[in-house]
Every structure is written in structure tokens, then in C-alpha cells.
Structure 1
């Protein structure tokens, strides 16, 4: 542990929150408990946060007559139903997660489903300032409340939503400052880099648009509504990762509100352990990320080749063979300094009116407008597919984008929201994709048989491999990965039988992925929530140090979530969080 962080933390924490030195051994308070804050305490908190304390209304409540949150409204209900699969709707809502299974499907906007608040926080602070965030942390600290941090609800592990909790919503922390040359505070002025400081609630589409005015961009995701806070804390990858590295490789400085309410800066020259933990250690764990300063880059030219393969019917017998072949070519694509992704499945309607086995593969070259070059690189793969998979209709096209913003507007992620979904995934190195074709084929066979959607992203390249992996806390498997492979599984809401089948399928798909790449783990923001060895899966050998930092920064576990660093001392039973040795 770096002494600079320890001295700063221990010197100041005692007078900010004296009780922090006394471990709390009682359950987190829930409504109805004697120690739940009185109305007067909530009113005082509301005054402190300038009237931004809210009793949240479940996003589907307007569609239900038998609830007390808000009047039934047929017109508003129709609008909510129409927007339910749109991430913009969910990210604008104070409590919606976009994947309603993480609110236990407690208030869907459809006839025949119940509506109550059991899956949502009791109160939300709609924070617009650092002081609002601090007030929420200190209130939860003082009254022993479960505290969750929510920005956009792009969370596949259920960390940003919880019943009987106080939620601090950072969605509106959207500051943006461009630096021609940035020096981290207290660092040598010779250590400078063009950079941008972004508030934790800043969303990708808005950031890209604002930076385009300066002919700049950053390493970010392709989802329009994904926000910086959760993206950075999980590691963050995107189209530019093979060339420039992960999002956390770009972080020069973070500003964090700690569990005692203090706001501190972490960079290479102060609070280094906090910086390391923030660069991949997971959200809702060490504090609230308020802002991050990340490297910016001149907007690149990008040239792309797009390949689409569609069979005449769903579940074509050779679908798995086609997918395995395409994935086996990712090391070849990486050798040509490409970025790209495979997307599709055995029963898709994305490319055709009727369900069919259908896949798209897009590949990109940065700092080029040579369409002939990408076409030539891809031609051997195209020729092989046409020869070996004649039942697939194949089309190939190329495009040249003169700037990042023009590329992004064409290639942004349009995956929908509003469905119950679980995933499994794996980071896979080049050797696993080429040396043991039988293991790869077996893994893909199971994914095609059991999964709904397969997404394979080319992440490996000089930017990822040459970055200082020790400077970040992400799963070390990132530093040898070529492919990030995901499969998803959905089910009808409130259908326990279907959910049980999904859980079984997820495990059956995970087993061959684990065998194919036993040591590389997964990307925390897009990983299985069911793996019993999730600590190693998410962080590998970095977990030990992350836990040490957690215990120093947050000795009483002000921040706690089920799949987060340091969760060992608590358990969640029927919506109540209690110490593991407590029988209350």
C-alpha cells in the first residue's frame, strides 16, 4: 500500500465520520426497522441535497391500476411500452436497469404482471454536484443503510440496483473539459498528454459528439448511452482497443468520493492505490467515481469491410462450423492490425424478415482510407466461406470513414434493452483459437445449441499488449487476449422454470469456454453472474491486492454489492443485507 494514500486517508477520515473506526455488525437497516431513519432525517437530507431526494416510481407503474406510486395513464403507458426496448428510456430513468431481471421483474409495463417497488431503491438522490454525492454517502454511513450507485443501468451483474436501499444517481454528472496538455496534480510537469476530463455520468454518444468539434476522440464503447463511471471501473474496451489499449490504460487521474465522504484525487503521484483500484476494480466498491481524466487522440480515419452471411433457414447444420472458422481467423485479422466484431446467431431476424442463421462480421483499419486494402486482407476468408459453406448467402462491402464520429454514427451498437437476460463470456488468446481447433469447435457447438446471440470482439493488438498491465487492476488475461467471446440467453419474465433452464444452459456454455481458455478469465462488465469462482474470473491474481485496498478504504463496508470486491463479510437474504455471522 502506498504511504501517500494511507496517510491522507487515516489523517482525515477520523473527523469526517468518527464511527468509521467501529465495525458495524448489525444488518443494514430496511424500512420498518427501529433504526430506519425517521421522516425528519430524510427531510433534512432532502434539504441538504437541494430537494433532489426522490421516492422513485417504478418505470412501468403508469401501466398498472393496482399500485399507489402514480395514477394509471393509458397514454403514458403506451409510450412506456413502445420505449421499453430502447436504452435511452432506461438510462434516463432514475432506477431502471435496462435488464429488468435485476429488479426482479417487479413492475413491468405489461398487462398480467404485478407492480410493486420491491425490486427498487427506497430513496434516490438525483445528484448534480459532488456535494450531493457526499451527502448520500454520509447519510448511508450514519444510518447503516445499503448504498447503491446508479448511472445508466448498463449493469449485467446487478450492482447498481437494490431494494431497501439509498441510491445515489450520478447520471447528471456530465462535465467535459478538453486539455491540450494535461499534467496530473502533484506530478512532474514534463509528464503531459492531450486529455479530457469527464464527469462520471458522461455518455458515449455525447462525449464523441463534443470531442468531434475538436477533431478528437477517446477509447470508449460503441453503446450510445453507456456512461463513463461503470465503463471505466470495469476496464472498458472498444473499437480502438487493439490500437490504443483498454479505457483504463488511458486514465491519467480520477476524482473519487470515499466511504467517509472525503473527495480525493488519485494519479501516478498521489493515492496511487486508489488509482489502481479505480482502473478496473469494479464499481460500487471503493467509492463513487466523480470524474476521470483520460488521454485523448486525434480523430482517426477508419476503413472497414463488412461481411454478412445468411442461411435460408434457422439453425443451419453448418452454423457452428462457420462460426468456429470465423473465430479461428481472429489471430490472422489481428496480425494485420485490425479491429472488429462478429455478431449473430442461429435464429436471427436482424438481417432477414424471417428467422435464419445469420451473422455479420465487421473489420476495421485505423488511419487508412484504402478500401482495396481491407478487401484484400479479408478476401481469403471470404473465398473459404463461399467454397465451404454454400448454403450461406454472402455479401461483402467496404466503407471509408474520414473521422471517428462518422464511423461511430454508422457502426454504433443498437442492441436493445428491456428483456431478462444473462450472459457468459471469456477472454481467449490466439493460441487457443488456432492450436486446438477441436476445443474451439466444441465450445462453439455448445454456444450455437444453447445460446441466443453470439458476439465475438477482436480486442488483441499492439495497444492492448504493449500497455503497462501492472498499472491497472483488470483481469490479467486481457494482456494476452485476442478475442472477447460472449453469448446471451433470455427468458420470459417471472417464469422460474424458464429461468432454471437458462441457468443450466449458461453453466453448460461456460464449461467448454473455461476449458478452451482456463487462465484468461472474463471482462467484468460483460461476465457471467453465476460463476462460483467469480473473483478469479473477474480479476485473477489482482483480487488479493484489491481486497487489501478495499479493507483500508472501506473498513465498515459502506459500499457493498453481491459480486464486488470485499463482499465476503455480508450476505443478502430476502432483500436484507446482514453480516455472515448475524442471525437477525
Structure 2
């Protein structure tokens, strides 16, 4: 349905020629990217000359798996497996990504060469070299892409690791702008959010909107839209973008903001990857709330009748309280009549939080229910939320201290997040759920859907990834982005996924269990289809949707896609930056090496 809508819009706006023109570029001549096995692959002397032109490094790829196997003499050890689920350890290696691959989709493969720039000029040199030699170019920041966008065989990888630096501004005015400035922070694209929070929130007592996973790289996150623990309060990361420095396909270093290169600036605010390589981003900062808090517990009902009462109570709590800037994070539903609450809140007294959740907690304490996870309820000064020393001293059970990476002892990730690293995905689906589903007219239908879907596999409602309930100011910011507009009315984002962790080929006990993955994939699809039956026209989050989604353009960006495609053709007409589910990638083979003709729609 969304696919047809996009095609109709293309025709009605006269932009169909841009789409068709993009497909017809195959007629320009040879369109295959060059591989190391080809005669015209750059010579050793040409690579050496490139290395001499950059301040950064040019090296061969290396993976975390290679490192741990070497350290253990080729054996698989518990210590090695623990390292491989540490996101910061994986980020020490150019040849490793947070995901290992996707069933029937992609596998993480190392690049032929790795460029590690230190400056925007270095990035420009690497981009110009890739363009001149027609190389497959990929970019890696935190390496969190579920679609394999930050790796490709036979490619030149630009690894933004050494693009570092954070600068706070009391009054920032974008280049070319006028008038009063606003508080902001400029951050190099290779930085991770844990370090940004450390300087802005912990160090300066200001709020900056960023990702929930502490290891996420700033550059790629902002381009996807970007959500964190408190997005109903702070908005999307992309909507807080004030300015970007970016190297585009021509090799030019551009400043994009509301006053210059404004079309590119709009595309960067949620249009996904593939516009170039951002080297510096400037994000608005805001007054920091006084306190952040968390409530978590797990409940199991003895039968479906009791489960229905539990689900109905949760829906009522959500309708009456959770569609509000004070609330974020997740509620999970699972087989065997289980439900899990893992929610964050802002500036609410603990007694008030207990009152809000009393209908669910009182029910769960009664006959027919049992707690599978005991109630956890706390709050902290907001300035201490990402403070490592405070967390390690006051609530060490909430974090995992990074003790393996090159910066061991200085960073943490949330306890539980390591279940999402070094995994091979069976499937991943998302759909924005409109707040109308919580109303009395549709609540019974929503409850039926939850109960039916929960029989298949565990899924979650991510309240911080829907902007219903946000302030009008944050909603206005979000409207000025290309993110699918259904985010504006969504009380939450449905996420359902499944994977196998630490797959190691040819190692007994670590091989891929393909039958189990296929069964998971079928269950994930079943959950998604049940929610699509009651919410057919909303979008999916571009960073967290099905690798195999055919209508990815419409699902990710809706009616904004034609404008995005026009901008893509202006700044990258030859598709130097291409990757799965990236704007314009419909005219490229899945591996990004061959431009293909025909109907791109």
C-alpha cells in the first residue's frame, strides 16, 4: 500500500523522471565497482601515495574474532565469548560489526583496505580516491547497522574512529545564520554517546538527545532519526541537529544547515545513511531535568483469562499516563502469559510512580499471578544517570563495565544490552503504533492482538520511539525531518526480533543453527503481521526494519521519499555512497557493486 502511494506521488509531482533517470544511469558505461581481483585495482604505489596524503592511517582489516582466537590458541573460551559481546571491544577492530549478519541477507565480511581519517581533509582524500578508482566505499562509525551498511567485501572502509572532539557552545549560530544563538555541542562523528553524555550531562549539567545504547556512534545515529531513553522529552536526535560538516561524493567538504545546503541538511535529519561522510555534528542542548528514574518488574499470569486482565490493565495505564514527555523505554509481552516492564521516567516522585502503576502491581500481587522479576524502582539526579563512578558505586547491577577494550575501565554499557551484540539476525520488524489504539474504542482489539501475538515470540512496545505526547515544540522539530510522519502520532514503536549469538563457523557448538533461526523468523513475521492487521498504514523505523522489506522506501520515509531521492541525485549522482535500504540503492545490486537497470520501484 505504501509502495503504491510513493509511486503515485512520484508521478504526480513530476519526480518520476528522477527515479527513472537514476535507473538509466547504467547506460553511462561500465558501472561495476572494482575488486582486488580486477586488473585496474589500485596498485601498491597508488595506495602508498594515498597513505602519504592523509594524517590518519591506511591499513589492512582485522577482526575481534581473529584477536580472541589468537589469544586462546584457536580455542573458544568463555573469556573470548565475553569479549565478543562487549560492544566497545568489537569497536576496537575495523573488521568487526555489532551484528554478524542476517538470515538470507548478509554476513559481516572484512574490507580490502581500511582508511582511518583524523580530519575532514583526510576523509576528502579517501572519498576522492574511491571515486577516482571506482571502488566500493563503506563507512563505519559504531558499526551498529542491522543491514550490513558498514561492511562489504572487496571494499575501501572509511573508519571514523579517530574523528574525535567535543566542544560545548553557550550560544551557537549556524554558519550563515543570524540572530541569537542557542546552547549546543559540536561533536566529531567518531565519538560514542557515552563520551558525549559524559561531557555534556555529567560534566556540564546540560541535556543532549542521543541514543540509548551507550556504544552507539554519534554520526550514523543522527542520520537515522535517533531515539534514546527520553525521546518523548528531548525529541529525535536528528530533530536536534543544528549543523553538519560533511564530505560529499565530489570530495567537497560542505557545511549543511538551515541557511546553506539546506536540502542536504534536511536529508541528514533522518534520511538514513548514504549522503556522504559526516565529520562533525552540532546538536542543540537543553536544560537538564532534576531527576531521571526507572521502574522494572516481570509478571506471569496463570492462564489466558488472567493474562487478558493484565494486558488490559497495562493498556489503561499507558493510555492515562505513559503518552507523556515524562515516560520512555519499554513494555514486553512474551509466551507463557508473561509481561515485563522496563520504563524510564523524568521528575516524578517515587510515590507517584507507584500510584501510576498500582493497577498493574496490585493485580500482579493477587491470586493467579506471580512475579518473575521483582520490582525495581529508583531515581537518580539526572546529572548522575550516565556517571560511571556513581553507577559503579550505587547501582553496579545496572551496568557492565567495559574491561576489555582499548579504553578499559572508562566506559559502561547497560546490563542486558550485551544480548544484542555479535548476533546473527533471524529477523527484525518494527511498526509505529498510533495512540488511537489505546482509546476505549480500540483497546479491546489491541488487547486481542497482544495476547495472540505473545503466543509466538517476545516483542516490545518502545514508548520512547513514538512521539505522541511530546511537547508541541518537539513535534514541530520532528515535522521538519524526513522520518515517516507516523512517528508523530505513535504512542510507541513495536519491535520484534530474534537472533543467534556468537556464531563461529567450523567451531563445534558455535555453528549457525539455521532451522532454529528460520523458526524464529517465521514467529517474528507472525507477530508483525498481526499488528499490521490493525495498523496497516503506519511506517517502520528506517534503522530497525526488515532487511527483506520490499517497500522499504515507503515504510521508512513515506511521502518524503521522492524529495530524498532528488537530493540524493544532486549530491551523489553516481551512487558512490550506497548500501542496503539507503536512498537510491534500488538501482544497485544488493552487494553494491553493480548498477542495475529496469524498474526501480
Tell whether the 8 Å contact from 2:292 to 2:385 is kept in structure 1 after alignment: no
Structure 2 stretches lacking a partner, 5+ long: 1-24, 399-412, 504-511
How far is the alpha carbon of 1:105 from its aligned partner?
A: 11
Summarize the Cα distance change of 1:379–1:337 in structure 2 as closer, same or farther, 3 Å threshold: farther
> How far apart are 1:569 and its partner, in Å?
1.5
**Which residue of structure 2 aligns with residue 257 of structure 1?**
247
Q: Is the 8 A contact 2:209 2:237 kept in 1?
A: yes
Q: Name the counterpart of 2:596.
A: 580
* Correspondence for 2:587 among 561, 569, 572: 569
Q: How does 1:134-213 map to 2 (within 5 A)?
A: 134-190=124-180, 192-211=181-200, 212-213=202-203
CA distance in 2, matches of 1:93, 1:372: 46
- Following TM superposition, the consecutive aligned residue runs of length 4 or more in structure 1 with deviations greater than 6 angstroms are 75-78, 103-107
The offset of 1:143, in angstroms, is: 0.9
Q: Aligned in 2, Cα 1:490/1:318: closer, same or farther, shift over 3 Å?
A: farther
| Maintained 8 Å contact 2:247/2:279 | yes
Aligned pair partner of 1:309 in 286, 295, 298: 298
Does 1:451 find its partner at 2:430? no
Aligned pair partner of 2:499 in 486, 490, 513: 490
Structure 1 residues 442 and 316, CA, compared in 2 at 3 Å: closer, same or farther? Answer: closer
**For 1:390-443, what per-residue CA distance to the aligned partner results, in whole angstroms no more than 9, with x for missing partners?**
244674454232224336756664311122123111111111233323442344
**Structure 2 CA distance, aligned partners of 1:321 and 1:288?**
50
Moved more, 46-55 or 159-168: 46-55
1:462 aligns with 2:470: yes
In structure 1, what is the equivalent of residue 211 of structure 2? 221
2:322 is aligned to: 334
Give the match for residue 476 of structure 1: 485
Range that drifts further, 425-434 or 557-566: 425-434
SS at match of 1:101: strand
Q: Judging changes above 3 Å, is the alpha-carbon distance between structure 1 residues 103 and 529 closer, same or farther for their aligned structure 2 residues?
A: closer
| TM-superposition CA deviations, 1:158-211 (whole Å, max 9, x none) | 211111111101122221110001111111123x21000011122111111111
- The verdict on how the C-alpha distance between 1:61 and 1:148 changes in structure 2, with shifts beyond 3 A counting, is same
User: What is the CA distance between 1:237 and its match in structure 2?
Assistant: 1.2
Aligned equivalent of 1:38, options 43, 56, 68: 43
Q: Tell me which residue corresponds to 1:96.
A: 96
Find the partner of 1:513 among 525, 531, 542: 531
Instruction: Give per-residue Cα distances to partners, 1:99-147, cap 9 Å, x unaligned.
Output: 112699999xxxxxxxxxx822111112222122112211111111111
Q: CA deviation at 1:288?
A: 0.8
Aligned to 1:120: 110
In structure 2, C-alpha distance between the alignment counterparts of 1:391 and 1:72, rounded to whole Å: 44
Question: Conserved in 2, the CA contact under 8 Å of 1:345 and 1:359?
Answer: yes
In structure 1, the partner of 2:435 is 430
Tell me the distance in 1 between the aligned counterparts of 2:315 and 2:430.
Answer: 14
Paired with 2:454 and 2:59, the residues of 1 have a C-alpha distance of 44
Other-structure match for 1:555: 573
In structure 2, the CA distance between the partners of 1:324 and 1:497, relative to structure 1 (3 Å rule), is: farther
Equivalent position of 1:266 in the other structure: 256
Label 1:260 to 1:103 Cα distance change in 2 as closer, same or farther (>3 A): farther
- Candidates 233, 237, 241, aligned match of 1:243: 233
Who is 2:541 aligned against?
Answer: 523
TM-score normalised to structure 1 length: 0.83
Contact 2:540 2:555 in 1 (8 A): yes
Partner of 1:418: 422
Distance 2:560 2:44 in 1: 43
| CA distance in 2 between partners of 1:532 and 1:318 (Å) | 39
2:301·2:307 contact (CA, 8 Å) conserved in 1? no
The answer to whether the 8 Å contact 2:232/2:324 transfers is no
My pick for the range that moved more, 285-294 or 372-381, is 372-381
Q: Matched residue of 1:519: which SS?
A: coil
Return the match for 2:345 from 322, 340, 364: 364
Which residue of structure 2 aligns with residue 80 of structure 1? 80
2:32 to 10, 27, 35: 27
Residues 243-291 of structure 1 deviation map (CA, whole Å, 9 limit, x = unaligned):
23111121111111111110111111111101100000001x1111111
**Aligned equivalents of 1:581, 1:335: Cα separation in 2:** 46
1:377 aligned residue (314, 334, 356): 356
- 1:16-63 alpha-carbon deviations (Å, 9 max, x no partner): xxxx99956421111211222222222222222346111112321246
**In 2: Cα distance, 1:521 partner to 1:202 partner:** 30
Question: Which deviates more, 331-340 or 71-80?
Answer: 71-80
Shift of 1:546: 0.4
Look up the match of 1:288. Answer: 277
CA contact (8 A) 1:447 1:509 kept: yes
| Equivalences, count | 534
Q: Residues 99 and 156 of structure 1 are in contact (CA less than 8 Å); yes or no, is this contact kept in structure 2?
A: yes
2 CA distance for matches of 1:76 and 1:425?
34
| Aligned residues of 1:24 and 1:556 also touching (Cα < 8 A) | no
Is the Cα–Cα contact under 8 Å of residues 230 and 328 in structure 2 kept in the other structure? no
Give the Cα–Cα distance (whole angstroms) in 2 for the partners of residues 490 and 328 of structure 1: 32
Task: Rate the CA distance shift 1:205–1:303 in 2: closer, same or farther, 3 A.
Answer: closer
Relative to the length of structure 2, the TM-score reads 0.81
SS in 1 for 2:432: strand
Question: How big is the shift at 1:343?
Answer: 4.9
CA separation of 1:152/1:270 partners in 2, compared to 1, >3 Å: closer, same or farther?
A: same
